[in-house]
Amino acid sequence: MNKKLLGIALFTLTLGAIVYLPTLDAKNMNTESSITFVQNERPVVDVVFVLDTTGSMSGLIQTAKEKIWSIATTMASAQPMPNIRIGLVAYRDRGDAYVTRTVDLSNDLDSVYATLMDFQADGGGDGPESVNAALYDAVHNMSWSQADQAYQVIFLIGDAPPHMDYQDDVKYPAILASAAERGIVVNTIQCGNMPTTVTPWTQIASLGQGNFFQVEQSGGAVAYSTPFDDEIADLSASLDETRLYYGSTEEKDKMAAKVAATEKLESSASPASRARRGVFNASIAGKTNLLGENELVDAIASGTVTLAEIDSEALPESIKPMAPAEQEAYIVGLAEKRSELQRQIHALSADRDGYLSKKVKEDGGRKDSLDQKLYDTVKEQGGRVGFEYEDGPAY
């Protein structure tokens, strides 16, 4: 690649990664530590949401769809900055459309979110649910990290107690003993105030070395929209368009599935949710989710590959017809565009944060919100394994 063009690309992307960070990174780390954790393997936060998807949980499911990016942003605000992976276990009961459905832990949050969007509340209505089966899947059927520094946590969210009368179920005391051996913390969030749920939810949290708390049936999350959401969402969509994928047919197909997940959420998610995603993706913490694997602009800028090293068939389809000089110029243009979009998202996210802080303050601080309770739990439990959280929850 032309040295002048490569130099521009390297400078542009490096500047974008170091300077144009959204609020979560600027608040929680200095430039030197930011560079360190981009270049080296980062510690891990693995979080699995075990979610009751029966009919009474429609409000909470919608809350989860709206808040998953805020949750990721909050968890990513630790020092040292972690790699965030999220997994899902949806559960109902025997006789419903399914007992459990799982989405394995992944740092491709777009694909996790696209699956979450398909979850709908239905079934149930007959008291206890298959909580034990869901907890078993969360503990035993997820690819939990083996990293030296990892905060591994389950949030069990539902309104009804577990079936303890299914003879072929592994019961939650045995499941939680396995979780403790693996270093997995289990928290419980009771939605609503069904009296028969309090005791088992409290016991599960205690055995899981976690916390129990209650929220209103709909989840009780902070759910403000802002005047900045539409513009951030549009900028985020433009940021997605700076991605180019190269590699084998299998590698390209894998990233095509990721792009399809992105297109699904862009067409269906609310502007507020897409704005939260944009703020996350424009940060260092969100880089993996934004780019995925084998992303050409970043690979060229980081020196991972050069255009000359890539077989023509492995190149992205969109640049194959171009002459080499055109390919180089096009990649530099995308690098410059990406950096400018990151800068704009960062500026608007600061305005958005200020607006939300004022709204929360006017609303009494929302100390009992789901957002605050999740943040307090993550701050305390993440501290046990060396993570420091200094700022409040992201909204």
Give the pLDDT confidence of 329-354 residue by residue, as tens digits: 999 999 999 999 999 999 999 999 99
pTM of the model: 0.87
pLDDT tens digit sequence for 261-278: 999 999 999 999 999 999
pLDDT tens digit sequence for 185-213: 999 999 999 999 999 999 999 999 999 99
* Of the candidate ranges 31-45, 63-77, 188-202, 265-279, the one whose mean pLDDT is the lowest: 31-45
Strands (E), 194-249: 212-215
Where exactly are the structural domains of the chain?
Answer: 3-40+224-357, 44-223+364-384
Q: How far apart are CA 290 and CA 295, in angstroms?
A: 10
DSSP 389: -
Q: pLDDT-based confidence at 6, cuts 50/70/90?
A: very low
245, 295 contact by CB (below 8 A): yes
How many Cα atoms within 13 Å fall on the side-chain side of residue 353? 20
pLDDT tens digit sequence for 287-329: 999 999 999 999 999 999 999 999 999 999 999 999 999 999 9
Q: pLDDT-based confidence at 138, cuts 50/70/90?
A: very high
pLDDT above 60 for 50: yes
- Report percent pLDDT > 90 for the chain: 79
The per-residue pLDDT for 33 is 30
Q: Which CATH entry fits the domain spanning 44-223+364-384: 1.10.4160.10, 3.40.50.410, 2.60.120.1360, 3.40.50.300? A: 3.40.50.410
148, 80 contact by CB (below 8 A): no
Strand order in the sheet with 184-191: 100-106, 83-91, 44-52, 150-158, 184-191, 212-215
Q: pLDDT-based confidence at 223, cuts 50/70/90?
A: confident
Q: How far apart are CA 340 and CA 352, in angstroms?
A: 18
Q: pLDDT-based confidence at 219, cuts 50/70/90?
A: confident
pLDDT above 50 for 21: no
